[in-house]
Structure 1
Amino acid sequence: MIKVCGMRERDNIAAVAQLDIDMMGFVFWPQSPRYVRMISSAAGIIPDYSEERLRRSRGEQLRDASRQPKRVGVFVDDMPQNIVTRVYSYRLDFIQLHGDEPRETCENLRSTLDPDIRPGIGIIKAISVASPADLRRWKDYAGAVDMLLFDTKCSGKGGSGNRFDWRLLSEYDGDIPFLLSGGIGPDDAESIRSVAHPMMAGIDLNSRFETQPGLKDVEKLRNFIETIRQ
Protein backbone atom coordinates (compact mmCIF):
# COMPACT_ATOMS: atom_id res chain seq x y z
CA MET A 1 0.00 0.00 0.00
CA ILE A 2 1.34 3.42 -0.97
CA LYS A 3 0.01 6.66 0.52
CA VAL A 4 1.10 10.07 -0.75
CA CYS A 5 0.43 12.72 1.87
CA GLY A 6 0.47 16.50 1.99
CA MET A 7 -1.36 17.10 -1.28
CA ARG A 8 -2.83 20.54 -1.87
CA GLU A 9 -2.58 21.93 -5.42
CA ARG A 10 -5.35 21.07 -7.89
CA ASP A 11 -3.28 20.09 -10.93
CA ASN A 12 -0.74 18.25 -8.79
CA ILE A 13 -3.54 16.29 -7.13
CA ALA A 14 -4.92 15.28 -10.51
CA ALA A 15 -1.49 14.17 -11.77
CA VAL A 16 -0.55 12.18 -8.67
CA ALA A 17 -3.98 10.51 -8.61
CA GLN A 18 -3.10 8.90 -11.95
CA LEU A 19 -0.13 7.08 -10.40
CA ASP A 20 -0.34 3.59 -8.92
CA ILE A 21 -1.09 4.73 -5.37
CA ASP A 22 -3.67 3.57 -2.86
CA MET A 23 -4.20 6.61 -0.65
CA MET A 24 -3.83 10.37 -0.90
CA GLY A 25 -3.54 12.50 2.23
CA PHE A 26 -4.81 16.04 2.79
CA VAL A 27 -3.65 17.98 5.82
CA PHE A 28 -6.34 19.93 7.66
CA TRP A 29 -4.04 21.31 10.35
CA PRO A 30 -3.77 25.10 9.98
CA GLN A 31 -0.16 25.23 11.23
CA SER A 32 1.10 22.98 8.45
CA PRO A 33 2.66 24.47 5.29
CA ARG A 34 0.58 21.84 3.45
CA TYR A 35 -2.70 22.99 5.00
CA VAL A 36 -5.67 22.51 2.69
CA ARG A 37 -7.85 25.58 2.63
CA MET A 38 -9.96 24.61 -0.34
CA ILE A 39 -9.68 22.12 -3.18
CA SER A 40 -11.46 22.80 -6.46
CA SER A 41 -13.88 20.07 -7.48
CA ALA A 42 -12.04 19.96 -10.81
CA ALA A 43 -9.27 18.11 -8.99
CA GLY A 44 -11.60 15.14 -8.76
CA ILE A 45 -11.29 14.91 -4.99
CA ILE A 46 -14.56 16.46 -3.90
CA PRO A 47 -17.77 15.97 -5.88
CA ASP A 48 -17.74 17.60 -9.29
CA TYR A 49 -21.22 18.63 -10.41
CA SER A 50 -20.17 20.21 -13.69
CA GLU A 51 -22.42 19.66 -16.72
CA GLU A 52 -19.72 17.61 -18.42
CA ARG A 53 -19.52 15.21 -15.51
CA LEU A 54 -23.30 14.95 -15.19
CA ARG A 55 -23.52 13.94 -18.84
CA ARG A 56 -21.31 10.91 -18.29
CA SER A 57 -22.88 7.50 -18.12
CA ARG A 58 -23.14 5.75 -14.79
CA GLY A 59 -20.61 3.18 -15.96
CA GLU A 60 -18.03 5.86 -16.72
CA GLN A 61 -18.51 7.38 -13.29
CA LEU A 62 -17.98 4.03 -11.63
CA ARG A 63 -14.80 3.43 -13.59
CA ASP A 64 -13.51 6.87 -12.61
CA ALA A 65 -14.25 6.17 -8.94
CA SER A 66 -12.46 2.84 -9.04
CA ARG A 67 -9.25 4.55 -10.16
CA GLN A 68 -9.30 7.17 -7.44
CA PRO A 69 -7.00 6.68 -4.44
CA LYS A 70 -8.68 6.64 -1.05
CA ARG A 71 -8.88 10.10 0.51
CA VAL A 72 -7.27 10.53 3.92
CA GLY A 73 -7.85 13.64 6.01
CA VAL A 74 -5.04 14.44 8.45
CA PHE A 75 -6.05 16.20 11.67
CA VAL A 76 -4.10 17.31 14.73
CA ASP A 77 -6.02 17.60 18.01
CA ASP A 78 -8.92 19.16 16.13
CA MET A 79 -12.46 19.66 17.39
CA PRO A 80 -14.72 16.72 16.47
CA GLN A 81 -17.21 18.95 14.67
CA ASN A 82 -14.45 20.24 12.37
CA ILE A 83 -13.41 16.68 11.55
CA VAL A 84 -16.99 15.61 10.84
CA THR A 85 -17.49 18.62 8.57
CA ARG A 86 -14.35 17.82 6.56
CA VAL A 87 -15.31 14.15 6.27
CA TYR A 88 -18.69 15.13 4.84
CA SER A 89 -17.47 17.94 2.58
CA TYR A 90 -14.48 16.08 1.13
CA ARG A 91 -16.01 12.60 1.24
CA LEU A 92 -13.03 11.27 3.13
CA ASP A 93 -12.45 7.53 3.29
CA PHE A 94 -10.07 7.70 6.26
CA ILE A 95 -9.37 10.00 9.19
CA GLN A 96 -5.73 10.19 10.26
CA LEU A 97 -5.31 11.55 13.78
CA HIS A 98 -1.80 12.94 14.09
CA GLY A 99 -1.88 14.60 17.50
CA ASP A 100 -2.39 13.43 21.08
CA GLU A 101 -5.93 12.20 20.55
CA PRO A 102 -6.99 9.57 23.12
CA ARG A 103 -8.75 6.32 22.36
CA GLU A 104 -12.11 7.87 23.26
CA THR A 105 -11.79 10.38 20.41
CA CYS A 106 -11.32 7.55 17.91
CA GLU A 107 -14.33 5.68 19.26
CA ASN A 108 -16.56 8.75 19.35
CA LEU A 109 -15.67 9.78 15.81
CA ARG A 110 -16.45 6.33 14.48
CA SER A 111 -19.82 6.16 16.23
CA THR A 112 -20.70 9.64 14.95
CA LEU A 113 -19.70 9.01 11.33
CA ASP A 114 -20.46 5.34 10.75
CA PRO A 115 -22.99 4.53 9.39
CA ASP A 116 -25.01 7.75 9.30
CA ILE A 117 -22.54 10.19 7.71
CA ARG A 118 -19.74 8.13 6.14
CA PRO A 119 -20.37 4.37 6.26
CA GLY A 120 -17.20 2.33 6.58
CA ILE A 121 -14.96 5.29 7.48
CA GLY A 122 -11.48 4.13 8.48
CA ILE A 123 -9.44 5.57 11.32
CA ILE A 124 -5.64 5.79 11.32
CA LYS A 125 -3.74 6.83 14.45
CA ALA A 126 -0.26 8.26 13.99
CA ILE A 127 2.33 7.45 16.64
CA SER A 128 5.61 9.38 16.78
CA VAL A 129 8.51 7.00 17.28
CA ALA A 130 11.89 7.50 18.92
CA SER A 131 12.09 4.52 21.28
CA PRO A 132 10.57 1.06 21.89
CA ALA A 133 8.25 2.62 24.47
CA ASP A 134 6.59 4.66 21.73
CA LEU A 135 5.75 1.52 19.77
CA ARG A 136 4.05 0.02 22.81
CA ARG A 137 1.46 2.79 22.68
CA TRP A 138 -0.46 0.68 20.16
CA LYS A 139 -2.16 -0.96 23.14
CA ASP A 140 -3.96 2.31 23.89
CA TYR A 141 -5.77 2.06 20.55
CA ALA A 142 -6.37 -1.68 20.17
CA GLY A 143 -9.89 -2.25 18.87
CA ALA A 144 -10.47 1.47 18.26
CA VAL A 145 -8.52 2.12 15.04
CA ASP A 146 -8.07 0.33 11.72
CA MET A 147 -4.45 1.21 11.15
CA LEU A 148 -1.45 2.88 12.76
CA LEU A 149 1.10 5.16 11.15
CA PHE A 150 4.59 5.19 12.62
CA ASP A 151 6.27 8.53 12.02
CA THR A 152 9.47 10.18 13.22
CA LYS A 153 9.19 12.00 16.53
CA CYS A 154 9.96 15.68 15.95
CA SER A 155 9.01 19.13 17.18
CA GLY A 156 6.26 19.41 14.56
CA LYS A 157 3.58 16.97 13.50
CA GLY A 158 5.06 15.01 10.61
CA GLY A 159 6.55 16.11 7.31
CA SER A 160 10.00 16.56 8.88
CA GLY A 161 11.85 14.60 6.20
CA ASN A 162 13.71 12.69 8.91
CA ARG A 163 13.73 8.94 9.43
CA PHE A 164 13.56 7.12 12.75
CA ASP A 165 15.56 3.95 13.34
CA TRP A 166 13.55 1.31 11.49
CA ARG A 167 15.23 -1.41 13.54
CA LEU A 168 12.88 -0.36 16.33
CA LEU A 169 10.00 -1.90 14.38
CA SER A 170 11.08 -5.31 15.64
CA GLU A 171 9.73 -4.16 19.03
CA TYR A 172 6.21 -3.79 17.66
CA ASP A 173 4.17 -6.80 18.72
CA GLY A 174 0.69 -5.44 18.04
CA ASP A 175 -2.00 -6.82 15.77
CA ILE A 176 -2.93 -3.50 14.14
CA PRO A 177 -1.48 -3.06 10.62
CA PHE A 178 0.74 -0.03 10.18
CA LEU A 179 2.06 2.36 7.56
CA LEU A 180 5.73 3.30 7.74
CA SER A 181 6.33 7.03 7.49
CA GLY A 182 9.06 9.57 8.15
CA GLY A 183 11.80 10.61 5.76
CA ILE A 184 11.19 8.03 3.03
CA GLY A 185 12.87 9.31 -0.12
CA PRO A 186 13.42 8.42 -3.78
CA ASP A 187 16.46 6.23 -3.02
CA ASP A 188 14.90 4.16 -0.25
CA ALA A 189 13.20 1.36 -2.19
CA GLU A 190 15.75 -1.28 -1.24
CA SER A 191 15.78 -0.21 2.41
CA ILE A 192 12.00 -0.54 2.54
CA ARG A 193 12.15 -4.01 1.05
CA SER A 194 14.48 -5.00 3.88
CA VAL A 195 11.81 -4.18 6.47
CA ALA A 196 10.26 -7.56 7.15
CA HIS A 197 7.42 -7.07 9.59
CA PRO A 198 4.19 -9.06 9.23
CA MET A 199 1.99 -6.11 10.20
CA MET A 200 3.54 -3.57 7.84
CA ALA A 201 0.76 -2.65 5.40
CA GLY A 202 2.56 -0.01 3.37
CA ILE A 203 4.42 3.28 3.27
CA ASP A 204 3.62 6.98 3.52
CA LEU A 205 5.43 9.42 1.21
CA ASN A 206 5.62 13.15 1.69
CA SER A 207 8.28 15.83 1.99
CA ARG A 208 11.20 14.12 0.25
CA PHE A 209 9.20 13.94 -2.96
CA GLU A 210 8.37 17.65 -2.97
CA THR A 211 9.64 20.60 -4.94
CA GLN A 212 8.03 22.81 -2.28
CA PRO A 213 5.61 22.12 0.57
CA GLY A 214 2.39 20.73 -0.85
CA LEU A 215 3.74 20.24 -4.39
CA LYS A 216 4.95 16.77 -5.34
CA ASP A 217 7.49 15.89 -8.03
CA VAL A 218 5.36 13.57 -10.14
CA GLU A 219 8.26 11.95 -11.99
CA LYS A 220 10.15 11.19 -8.79
CA LEU A 221 7.02 9.58 -7.41
CA ARG A 222 6.40 7.65 -10.61
CA ASN A 223 9.94 6.25 -10.73
CA PHE A 224 9.91 5.31 -7.06
CA ILE A 225 6.51 3.64 -7.27
CA GLU A 226 7.52 1.63 -10.33
CA THR A 227 10.64 0.45 -8.49
CA ILE A 228 8.89 -0.44 -5.24
CA ARG A 229 6.09 -2.27 -7.06
CA GLN A 230 8.51 -4.54 -8.94
Structure 2
Amino acid sequence: MTWPPAVKVCGLMRPEDAAVASAAGAAYLGVILAPGGKRTVTAARANVILGGIPARRVGVFVDAGENELLADAREAGLHVLQLHGDEPPELADRMRAAGYEVWKAVRARGADDFSRAARRYAGAVDALLLDGYSPAAHGGTGTRFPWAEVAERLGELPPGMRLVAAGGLTPRNVAEAAAILRPHAVDVSSGVEASPGVKDPDAVRAFVEQVQSLSFKQVR
Protein backbone atom coordinates (compact mmCIF):
# COMPACT_ATOMS: atom_id res chain seq x y z
CA MET A 1 0.00 0.00 0.00
CA THR A 2 1.23 3.47 -0.87
CA TRP A 3 0.39 6.15 1.64
CA PRO A 4 -0.81 8.75 1.10
CA PRO A 5 -2.61 7.54 -2.02
CA ALA A 6 -1.61 8.84 -5.43
CA VAL A 7 -4.00 11.28 -7.12
CA LYS A 8 -5.45 10.92 -10.60
CA VAL A 9 -7.22 13.88 -12.19
CA CYS A 10 -9.39 12.63 -15.05
CA GLY A 11 -11.57 14.06 -17.81
CA LEU A 12 -8.91 16.53 -18.86
CA MET A 13 -9.66 18.54 -21.98
CA ARG A 14 -7.27 21.49 -21.72
CA PRO A 15 -3.47 21.63 -21.44
CA GLU A 16 -3.69 24.31 -18.77
CA ASP A 17 -5.78 22.05 -16.55
CA ALA A 18 -3.33 19.18 -16.96
CA ALA A 19 -0.48 21.51 -16.02
CA VAL A 20 -2.31 22.69 -12.88
CA ALA A 21 -3.05 19.11 -11.82
CA SER A 22 0.55 18.02 -12.28
CA ALA A 23 1.93 21.07 -10.48
CA ALA A 24 -0.44 20.38 -7.59
CA GLY A 25 0.98 16.88 -7.23
CA ALA A 26 -1.26 14.57 -9.27
CA ALA A 27 0.68 11.47 -10.30
CA TYR A 28 -1.84 10.35 -12.95
CA LEU A 29 -3.57 12.47 -15.58
CA GLY A 30 -6.57 10.99 -17.39
CA VAL A 31 -8.26 11.60 -20.71
CA ILE A 32 -11.51 10.13 -21.99
CA LEU A 33 -10.99 8.37 -25.32
CA ALA A 34 -14.33 6.54 -25.36
CA PRO A 35 -16.60 8.19 -27.96
CA GLY A 36 -19.76 10.09 -27.14
CA GLY A 37 -18.94 11.49 -23.71
CA LYS A 38 -19.06 15.08 -22.48
CA ARG A 39 -15.30 14.99 -21.94
CA THR A 40 -14.26 12.83 -24.91
CA VAL A 41 -11.12 13.85 -26.80
CA THR A 42 -9.25 12.22 -29.67
CA ALA A 43 -5.96 10.43 -29.10
CA ALA A 44 -4.16 13.17 -31.03
CA ARG A 45 -5.73 15.86 -28.86
CA ALA A 46 -4.88 13.85 -25.72
CA ASN A 47 -1.24 13.95 -26.70
CA VAL A 48 -1.43 17.74 -26.94
CA ILE A 49 -3.24 18.06 -23.60
CA LEU A 50 -0.74 15.89 -21.76
CA GLY A 51 2.36 16.70 -23.79
CA GLY A 52 5.54 17.34 -21.82
CA ILE A 53 3.94 16.92 -18.40
CA PRO A 54 5.75 14.62 -15.94
CA ALA A 55 2.86 12.36 -14.95
CA ARG A 56 1.55 8.94 -15.93
CA ARG A 57 -0.97 9.22 -18.74
CA VAL A 58 -4.22 7.29 -18.40
CA GLY A 59 -6.65 6.71 -21.26
CA VAL A 60 -10.25 5.74 -20.52
CA PHE A 61 -11.89 3.32 -22.97
CA VAL A 62 -15.27 1.60 -23.16
CA ASP A 63 -15.35 -1.74 -25.02
CA ALA A 64 -12.69 -0.75 -27.53
CA GLY A 65 -11.10 -3.52 -29.59
CA GLU A 66 -7.49 -4.56 -29.30
CA ASN A 67 -6.34 -2.71 -32.40
CA GLU A 68 -8.07 0.50 -31.35
CA LEU A 69 -6.58 0.29 -27.86
CA LEU A 70 -3.07 -0.15 -29.17
CA ALA A 71 -3.37 2.56 -31.83
CA ASP A 72 -4.83 5.16 -29.46
CA ALA A 73 -2.38 4.27 -26.70
CA ARG A 74 0.54 4.85 -29.04
CA GLU A 75 -0.84 8.11 -30.45
CA ALA A 76 -1.71 9.53 -27.03
CA GLY A 77 1.52 8.28 -25.42
CA LEU A 78 -0.38 6.43 -22.70
CA HIS A 79 1.10 4.54 -19.77
CA VAL A 80 -2.18 3.19 -18.35
CA LEU A 81 -5.29 1.81 -20.07
CA GLN A 82 -8.46 2.18 -18.00
CA LEU A 83 -11.09 -0.23 -19.31
CA HIS A 84 -14.56 0.96 -18.38
CA GLY A 85 -16.82 -1.46 -20.24
CA ASP A 86 -17.32 -5.21 -20.34
CA GLU A 87 -13.81 -6.08 -21.51
CA PRO A 88 -12.77 -9.69 -20.80
CA PRO A 89 -9.72 -10.54 -18.70
CA GLU A 90 -8.02 -12.00 -21.79
CA LEU A 91 -8.00 -8.60 -23.50
CA ALA A 92 -6.63 -6.91 -20.41
CA ASP A 93 -3.90 -9.51 -20.17
CA ARG A 94 -2.89 -8.92 -23.80
CA MET A 95 -2.62 -5.19 -23.16
CA ARG A 96 -0.34 -5.86 -20.23
CA ALA A 97 1.78 -8.11 -22.44
CA ALA A 98 2.03 -5.18 -24.86
CA GLY A 99 3.64 -3.13 -22.11
CA TYR A 100 0.74 -1.15 -20.65
CA GLU A 101 -0.53 -0.93 -17.11
CA VAL A 102 -4.22 -1.89 -17.04
CA TRP A 103 -6.92 -0.71 -14.65
CA LYS A 104 -10.34 -2.38 -14.86
CA ALA A 105 -13.17 -0.10 -13.83
CA VAL A 106 -16.10 -1.58 -11.93
CA ARG A 107 -19.32 0.32 -11.34
CA ALA A 108 -20.01 -1.11 -7.92
CA ARG A 109 -23.53 -1.02 -6.54
CA GLY A 110 -22.32 -3.06 -3.58
CA ALA A 111 -19.56 -5.26 -2.22
CA ASP A 112 -20.68 -8.24 -4.31
CA ASP A 113 -19.73 -6.38 -7.50
CA PHE A 114 -16.26 -5.78 -6.06
CA SER A 115 -15.87 -9.44 -5.06
CA ARG A 116 -16.93 -10.74 -8.47
CA ALA A 117 -14.55 -8.40 -10.30
CA ALA A 118 -11.66 -9.25 -7.99
CA ARG A 119 -12.12 -12.94 -8.78
CA ARG A 120 -12.70 -12.47 -12.50
CA TYR A 121 -9.70 -10.20 -13.16
CA ALA A 122 -7.23 -11.81 -10.77
CA GLY A 123 -3.86 -11.98 -12.50
CA ALA A 124 -5.12 -10.05 -15.55
CA VAL A 125 -5.07 -6.41 -14.41
CA ASP A 126 -2.88 -4.19 -12.29
CA ALA A 127 -5.73 -2.48 -10.46
CA LEU A 128 -9.48 -2.42 -9.95
CA LEU A 129 -10.96 1.05 -10.18
CA LEU A 130 -14.21 1.26 -8.26
CA ASP A 131 -16.71 3.81 -9.49
CA GLY A 132 -20.29 4.52 -8.54
CA TYR A 133 -23.05 2.97 -10.62
CA SER A 134 -25.26 5.21 -12.70
CA PRO A 135 -27.53 4.16 -15.58
CA ALA A 136 -26.74 7.49 -17.24
CA ALA A 137 -23.12 6.78 -18.21
CA HIS A 138 -20.14 4.47 -17.73
CA GLY A 139 -18.36 7.04 -15.56
CA GLY A 140 -17.89 10.71 -14.73
CA THR A 141 -21.32 11.00 -13.12
CA GLY A 142 -20.15 11.89 -9.61
CA THR A 143 -21.91 8.84 -8.13
CA ARG A 144 -20.44 7.19 -5.03
CA PHE A 145 -20.16 3.49 -4.30
CA PRO A 146 -20.65 2.11 -0.75
CA TRP A 147 -17.17 2.67 0.74
CA ALA A 148 -17.68 0.94 4.09
CA GLU A 149 -19.36 -2.10 2.55
CA VAL A 150 -16.50 -2.60 0.11
CA ALA A 151 -13.89 -1.97 2.80
CA GLU A 152 -15.09 -5.04 4.68
CA ARG A 153 -13.97 -7.21 1.73
CA LEU A 154 -10.62 -5.65 0.91
CA GLY A 155 -8.98 -8.91 1.98
CA GLU A 156 -10.41 -10.45 -1.22
CA LEU A 157 -8.19 -8.28 -3.40
CA PRO A 158 -5.74 -10.70 -5.08
CA PRO A 159 -2.00 -10.29 -4.44
CA GLY A 160 -0.52 -7.73 -6.80
CA MET A 161 -3.87 -6.12 -7.63
CA ARG A 162 -4.24 -2.55 -6.40
CA LEU A 163 -7.37 -0.55 -5.63
CA VAL A 164 -8.25 2.82 -7.15
CA ALA A 165 -11.18 4.71 -5.64
CA ALA A 166 -13.33 6.93 -7.86
CA GLY A 167 -16.90 8.15 -8.03
CA GLY A 168 -18.24 11.24 -6.30
CA LEU A 169 -14.96 12.26 -4.70
CA THR A 170 -14.45 15.93 -3.84
CA PRO A 171 -12.03 17.94 -1.70
CA ARG A 172 -14.58 17.61 1.11
CA ASN A 173 -14.87 13.83 1.23
CA VAL A 174 -11.69 12.37 -0.29
CA ALA A 175 -9.86 12.10 3.03
CA GLU A 176 -12.71 10.08 4.54
CA ALA A 177 -12.93 7.79 1.51
CA ALA A 178 -9.19 7.16 1.47
CA ALA A 179 -9.04 6.45 5.19
CA ILE A 180 -11.82 3.86 4.84
CA LEU A 181 -10.64 2.17 1.63
CA ARG A 182 -6.82 2.54 1.84
CA PRO A 183 -6.50 2.70 -1.97
CA HIS A 184 -3.40 2.93 -4.10
CA ALA A 185 -4.89 6.00 -5.78
CA VAL A 186 -7.94 8.26 -5.71
CA ASP A 187 -9.52 9.48 -8.94
CA VAL A 188 -11.41 12.74 -9.41
CA SER A 189 -13.08 14.37 -12.39
CA SER A 190 -16.41 16.15 -11.88
CA GLY A 191 -15.57 16.81 -8.21
CA VAL A 192 -13.01 19.47 -9.17
CA GLU A 193 -14.76 21.03 -12.17
CA ALA A 194 -16.17 24.47 -12.83
CA SER A 195 -18.08 22.92 -15.76
CA PRO A 196 -17.75 19.61 -17.65
CA GLY A 197 -14.18 19.37 -18.90
CA VAL A 198 -13.06 22.64 -17.27
CA LYS A 199 -11.19 22.16 -14.01
CA ASP A 200 -11.31 24.62 -11.11
CA PRO A 201 -7.63 25.18 -10.19
CA ASP A 202 -8.43 25.93 -6.55
CA ALA A 203 -10.51 22.75 -6.25
CA VAL A 204 -7.77 20.66 -7.87
CA ARG A 205 -5.18 22.01 -5.45
CA ALA A 206 -7.53 21.54 -2.48
CA PHE A 207 -8.19 17.93 -3.49
CA VAL A 208 -4.50 17.08 -3.71
CA GLU A 209 -3.78 18.86 -0.41
CA GLN A 210 -6.46 16.83 1.35
CA VAL A 211 -4.96 13.59 0.06
CA GLN A 212 -1.40 14.57 0.90
CA SER A 213 -2.44 15.48 4.44
CA LEU A 214 -3.31 11.81 4.98
CA SER A 215 0.37 11.04 5.48
CA PHE A 216 -0.14 12.45 8.99
CA LYS A 217 -3.39 10.65 9.75
CA GLN A 218 -4.14 7.21 11.07
CA VAL A 219 -5.35 4.63 8.57
CA ARG A 220 -8.54 2.91 9.70
- TM-score category (smaller protein): 0.7 to 0.9
Return the match for 1:209 from 168, 186, 192. Answer: 192
- Corresponding residue for 2:141? 160
Distance (Å, rounded) in 1 between the aligned partners of 2:180 and 2:193: 24
Distance (Å, rounded) in 1 between the aligned partners of 2:19 and 2:111: 39
**What's the secondary structure of 1:164's corresponding residue?**
coil
Equivalences for residues 1-230 of structure 1 within 5 A:
1-37=6-42, 38-39=44-45, 43=49, 45-46=50-51, 68-111=54-97, 113-114=98-99, 121-136=100-115, 137-155=117-135, 156-169=137-150, 170-172=152-154, 173-175=156-158, 176-197=161-182, 200-230=183-213
Q: 1:177 to 1:100 in 2, by over 3 A?
A: same
Q: How many residues align?
A: 201
Per-residue displacement from partner, 1:49-82 (whole Å, max 9, x unpaired)? Answer: xxxxxxxxxxxxxxxx7x6110001000012211
More displaced 10-residue stretch of structure 1: 73-82 or 10-19: 10-19
Q: 1:35 to 1:196 in 2, by over 3 A?
A: closer
Q: CA deviation at 1:104?
A: 1.1
Q: CA deviation at 1:201?
A: 0.7
Q: 1:182 to 1:196 in 2, by over 3 A?
A: closer
Q: CA deviation at 1:17?
A: 2.3
**What's the secondary structure of 2:24's corresponding residue?**
coil
Do the aligned residues in 1 keep the contact of 2:59 with 2:73 (CA within 8 Å)?
yes
Per-residue displacement from partner, 1:112-160 (whole Å, max 9, x unpaired)? Answer: x23xxxxxx2011011101222011211111111111001111111111
Q: TM-score, normalised by structure 1?
A: 0.81
Distance (Å, rounded) in 2 between the aligned partners of 1:18 and 1:76: 29
- Corresponding residue for 2:3? none
Bigger CA radius of gyration = 1
Distance (Å, rounded) in 1 between the aligned partners of 2:166 and 2:148: 14
State the one-letter code of the partner of 2:140.
G
Per-residue displacement from partner, 1:21-42 (whole Å, max 9, x unpaired)? Answer: 1101111011210101342766
Q: CA deviation at 1:14?
A: 2.4
Question: Structure 1: where are the runs of 5+ without partners?
Answer: 47-64, 115-120
Q: What RMSD in Å do the two structures reach over aligned CA positions? A: 1.8
Do the aligned residues in 1 keep the contact of 2:7 with 2:211 (CA within 8 Å)?
no
Taking every aligned residue pair, what percent have the same amino acid on both sides? Answer: 28
Distance (Å, rounded) in 2 between the aligned partners of 1:18 and 1:153: 31
Q: TM-score, normalised by structure 2?
A: 0.85
State the one-letter code of the partner of 1:95.
L
Q: CA deviation at 1:218?
A: 1.2
Do the aligned residues in 2 keep the contact of 1:9 with 1:39 (CA within 8 Å)?
no
Question: Structure 2: where are the runs of 5+ without partners?
Answer: 1-5, 214-220
Distance (Å, rounded) in 2 between the aligned partners of 1:153 and 1:40: 26
